[in-house]
Structure 1
Amino acid sequence: MGQVIDADGVELWVERRGQGPDVLLISGLGDPAEAWQPQLDGLADRYRLTAFDNRGAGRTPLPEGPLSLARMAGDASALLRALQVPAAHIAGFSGGSFIAQELALRHPGVVRSLVLMSTMARPDPYFRSMTRYWHWMVEHAPDERAMLEAFFLWIYTPRAHADGMVDRFVEEALAFEHPQSVENFQRQLAAFTDHDALDRLGRITAPALVLAGELDLATPPRLGRVVADSIPDAEFEVLPGEAHQPFQEVPDVFNARVDAFWREVESRG
């Protein structure tokens, strides 16, 4: 059962599960904490996992004023303080990986390690064109179902479209009681599109694992490689046959990989 946590004045909806070393899961564009359900279920026997709704997603409101990655990284840091967690393994997906980068740069003391899934250091022209289309699409799609079906073309593998997984995700999203508004989607999207940490990533000192899906259209492996090359001693791995969201499509593969990484970090003390 989730709960609302006051994180320096922002009421974040939080889901917690399990026992063990602390892990903070940071979602991407529009995703509520439930996006991490395969990890909350699959890793709770080894870790104490915390997932939350970012500003403007799920049950967390989006306050008036500018929205930035720095503010969202501040939310993550404040949440850990409110939960009395001195430091955690941080896993961020897509836009959540951009927040995780800012968290490691601005609040390094709370970061035990970094897993950056479907990430980049700076938007390229393709990404900017894609997100300009998304900004238009969410407002002008005929209905929410049409918007999700179009959006998920960039997110999931052809396999997931063929075997019914995407249809199930669409139905789950339509049934979710706290859908993201058009305005909040666009404001989050603008903040993520403004991400630029390329010239600062060399300052990250936490152990880092960068994962990319071989078939990812939104953040292809070449963008993840730049991130890994920029963070000292970061590991980089491409997941064959996977797209933008493998932690949902092949959770057993994703969970095993991050578990091995966190175990290695823990073994170093």
Structure 2
Amino acid sequence: MPHVEASDGVRIAYQVRGDGPPLVLLAGQANDHHWWDGVRDDFAGARSTVTIDYRGTGESDRPQLPYSTERFADDVVAVLDGLAVRRADVYGTSMGGRVAQWLAVRHPGRVRALVLGCTSAGGPHAVDRSGDVRRSLIRPDPLEVRQTLLELMYTPAWLATHPGPYHTLGDRSMPAHARRGHLVASDGHDAWDALPGIVAPTLVLHGTDDLLNPTANAPLLAARIPGSRLELIQGARHAYFEECRELAGPLVLDFLDQQAPRR
């Protein structure tokens, strides 16, 4: 698997598939590129998709260094540099949406268009998940936690007809220090003050029944980014992009196609 070296020497693995203009796909917290396995082919006919294994996941290095969404964004730029990609469309979901925010803020010339899915601005302005949801995710029984996470990701009807494997439950090979680092990075994210500086055309996507990252964050995020567009997918939970792929994928591609041609 190919790698690039980040500015601090950490090796970052990446994957490229398909042909066409580049689309960077950014996964959720404590997940590697397999997060996108269920839907990546939906973009294959129109885009060359670029994924990464965040530091701490997959085939990337797993340093015992501070982790942050800003650092993850800089790692994405290292991958784009390694591929000689000057500008790309960027689609980030969950923590990947937080990474995508910093990518658009810190490296505006590298982002042609931006899609932020099931994510938030973070910090005190974000709407946090409920205490009940938080407690359900720290129960001592890992099987109970896994079942809770599945039910936060997908509706009961979808789970009943899709027995797995599931690609959104985390990279089980991560060492404990990296898992903690990802949690700290996501929880510490706060881009609220910087969001008005985003210049890339932006689409905000969210499921209406998302309790893991409450849906109320979507209009807050959209209102904070100048000229952004908001789309809510009725009845969808956190993994709307997979369960509602027939709707979400075309929404993303239509939005990207509507933007000005890349120069």
More helix by share: 1
In the alignment, is residue 102 of structure 1 matched against residue 98 of structure 2? no
In the alignment, is residue 206 of structure 1 matched against residue 205 of structure 2? no
Residue 221 to residue 178, structure 1, CA distance change in 2 (3 Å): closer
Residue 216 to residue 125, structure 1, CA distance change in 2 (3 Å): closer
Structure 2 residue runs without a partner (length 5+): none
CA distance in 2, matches of 1:260, 1:199: 29
State TM-score, norm by structure 1.
0.87
Percent of aligned pairs sharing the same letter: 30
Q: 2:174 aligns with which of 165, 176, 180?
A: 180
Which amino acid letter does the alignment assign opposite residue 223 of structure 2? Answer: D
Residue 67 to residue 241, structure 1, CA distance change in 2 (3 Å): same
Deviation track 1:100-127 (CA, whole Å, cap 9, x = no partner) reads 0011111111111110000111254633
1:147 aligned residue: 145
1:6 aligned residue: 5
| Cα contact 2:136–2:148 (8 A) shared by 1 | no
CA distance in 2, matches of 1:135, 1:183: 18
Deviation track 1:192-234 (CA, whole Å, cap 9, x = no partner) reads 0111111211010000000010110022221011110000000
CA distance in 2, matches of 1:16, 1:194: 30
Equivalent residue runs for 1:168-247 within 5 Å: 168-170=164-166, 179-247=173-241
Aligned residue pairs total 260
CA distance in 2, matches of 1:94, 1:182: 21
State TM-score, norm by structure 2.
0.89
SS for the counterpart of 1:46 is coil
Runs of 4 or more, structure 1, over 6 Å off, are none
| Cα contact 1:131–1:189 (8 A) shared by 2 | no
CA distance in 1, matches of 2:32, 2:60: 9
Residue 210 to residue 130, structure 1, CA distance change in 2 (3 Å): farther
CA distance in 2, matches of 1:74, 1:135: 30
Q: CA RMSD in A?
A: 2.5
SS for the counterpart of 2:65 is coil
CA distance in 1, matches of 2:214, 2:133: 15
In the alignment, is residue 55 of structure 1 matched against residue 55 of structure 2? yes
| Cα contact 1:35–1:248 (8 A) shared by 2 | no
| Cα contact 1:210–1:237 (8 A) shared by 2 | yes
CA positional deviation for 1:25: 0.6
Deviation track 1:125-168 (CA, whole Å, cap 9, x = no partner) reads 6338578647744xx43x4x4432232232222222332x2x41
Which amino acid letter does the alignment assign opposite residue 3 of structure 1? Answer: P
Structure 1 residue runs without a partner (length 5+): none
| Cα contact 1:135–1:189 (8 A) shared by 2 | no
